[in-house]
């Protein structure tokens, strides 16, 4: 995934040796890389992406699970979440086959939008099929899925208390040996330094943050975010700087944070409240930032938070 991972856990007599835990963790990451990486041409999903419209390919259950999760997010958001954005990401300079960051022409954008649409992808038994020349990109949910997969395997190997992180998506459960909770900091949306804006205690929840403050480019004085709206093909252009989501499924937290980032501060907050999503919004106001949380976020974290 072009990034890092970390696993912290409490060792007991029931837990397998550290070398076994590391080997099993890296086996999962290697498997996912071979299945869903868009940065290696021999991955299963890149072979699918290169195949012509009207074809189907057998896929392992993990890939099909990712598509199923993406379909749910796509339906819930009425298209604001979409797994087929890779051509758009490449066009704007943010994808694996990008040729440089630049604002595309109206004709380039219109042509590329013809190749976007998750409704063109379907599951047929154990096969993944497409009826148009679309390309699937799981980068909006793959890291969260990796965390969930690692945790499931560690559980089979005796681990009960852990903090598992992959490319910034994480989940924690249980207590540390001193009886305290795992604590994580929600990062302030600043490109110049890393500052914890709020610290929360985690037990059984995955956390994912999406933001536009690190991956963007500027042209003619305008800032273009790497978060793209699949309905327009354009980078999001609103005051929402970052959004954090907590969910028992790290995969779902990963996807929801992307979805809310696309919707923006007002529509995103309305969506999160309507669907009882635990979300923490950071919005630009003048030269500073304003934070808002959903009722579900406060229900989960306010009582024991450290400010």
CATH number of the domain to which 183 belongs: 3.10.520.10
Inside any domain, residue 215: yes
β-bridge partners, 226: none
CB 167 within 8 A of CB 143: yes
The total of structural domains in the chain comes to: 2
**Phi, psi of 246, rounded to the nearest 5 degrees:** -115, 135
End of a domain among 130, 156, 180? 130
- Residue 154 in any domain: the answer is no
Question: Is the confidence at residue 246, as pLDDT, over 90?
Answer: yes
Q: DSSP per residue over the chain, as a string?
A: --S-EEEEE---TTSPPHHHHHHHHHHHHHHHHHHH-SSSTTSHHHHHHHSPTTEEEE--HHHHHHHHHHHHHHHHTTTSS-S--HHHHHHHT-STT-----PPPHHHHHHHHTT--GGGEEEETTEEEESSS-----TTTHHHHHHHHHHHHHHHTT--SEEEEETTEEEEESB-TTSPBEEEEEEPS-SS---EEEEEEESSEEEEEEESSSSEEEETTEEEES-B-TTTSSB--SSEEEEEEEESSHHHHHHHHHHHHHH-HHHHHHHHHHTT-EEEEEEEETTEEEEEE-HHHHHHHTTT-B-
The pLDDT of residue 303: 52
- Tell me how far apart the alpha carbons of residues 76 and 275 are, in angstroms, rounded to a whole number: 9
186 in any annotated domain: yes
Say yes or no: 198 and 292 in one domain: yes
- On whether both 122 and 177 belong to a single domain, the answer is no
Query: Is residue 30 a part of any domain in this protein?
Result: no
pLDDT band at 71 (very low <50, low <70, confident <90, very high): very high
Flag whether pLDDT at 304 surpasses 60. Answer: no
Instruction: Give the domain extent around 61.
Output: 44-130
CATH number of the structural domain spanning residue 123: 1.10.3980.10
What are the structure tokens assigned to 111, written together? 């042509």
| CA nearest to 81, candidates 261, 242, 239, 204 | 261
Residues 211 and 290 in one domain: yes
Q: Does residue 175 sit in the same domain as residue 122? A: no
For residues 32 and 63, is the Cβ–Cβ distance under 8 A? Answer: no
Residues 186 and 263 in one domain: yes
Mean pLDDT of 211-238: 82
Q: Tens digit of pLDDT for each residue in 111-142?
A: 999 999 999 999 999 999 999 999 999 999 99
Under the banding of pLDDT at 50, 70 and 90, the label for residue 21 is very high
111 belongs to a structural domain: yes
The tokens for 33 are: 């890389």
Q: Give the pLDDT score at 254.
A: 97
pLDDT of residue 214: 61
Q: Quick one: 196 and 95 in the same domain?
A: no
pLDDT band with cut points at 50, 70 and 90 for residue 101: confident
**CA nearest to 98, candidates 111, 113, 87, 84:** 87
């Amino acid at each position: 995934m072009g990034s890092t991972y970390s696993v912290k856990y409490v060792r007991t007599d029931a837990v397998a040796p550290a070398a076994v835990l590391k080997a099993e963790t890296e086996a999962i990451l290697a498997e996912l890389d071979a299945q869903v990486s868009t940065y290696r041409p021999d991955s299963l999903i890149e072979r699918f992406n290169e195949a012509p419209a009207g074809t189907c390919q057998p896929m392992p259950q993990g890939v099909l699970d990712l598509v199923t999760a993406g379909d749910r997010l796509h339906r819930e958001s009425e298209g604001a979440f979409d797994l087929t954005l890779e051509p758009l990401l490449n066009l704007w300079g943010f994808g694996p086959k990008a040729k440089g960051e630049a604002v595309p022409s109206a004709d380039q954008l219109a042509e590329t939008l013809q190749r976007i649409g998750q409704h063109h992808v379907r599951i047929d038994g154990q096969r993944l099929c497409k009826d148009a020349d679309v390309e699937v990109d799981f980068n909006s949910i793959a890291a969260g899925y990796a965390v969930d997969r690692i945790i499931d395997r560690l559980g089979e190997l005796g681990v009960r208390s852990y903090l598992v992180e992959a490319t910034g998506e994480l989940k924690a459960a249980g207590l540390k040996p001193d009886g305290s909770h795992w604590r994580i900091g929600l990062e302030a949306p600043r490109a110049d330094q890393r500052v914890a804006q709020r610290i929360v205690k985690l037990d059984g929840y995955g956390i994912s943050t999406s933001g536009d403050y690190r991956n963007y480019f500027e042209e003619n004085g305008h800032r273009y975010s790497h978060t793209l709206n699949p309905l327009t093909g354009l980078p999001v252009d609103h005051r929402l700087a970052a959004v954090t989501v907590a969910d028992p499924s790290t995969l779902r937290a990963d996807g929801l944070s992307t979805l809310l980032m696309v919707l923006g501060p007002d529509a995103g907050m309305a969506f999160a409240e309507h669907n009882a999503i635990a979300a923490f919004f950071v919005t630009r106001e003048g030269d500073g930032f304003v934070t808002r949380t959903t009722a579900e976020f406060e229900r989960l974290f306010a009582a024991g938070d450290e400010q």
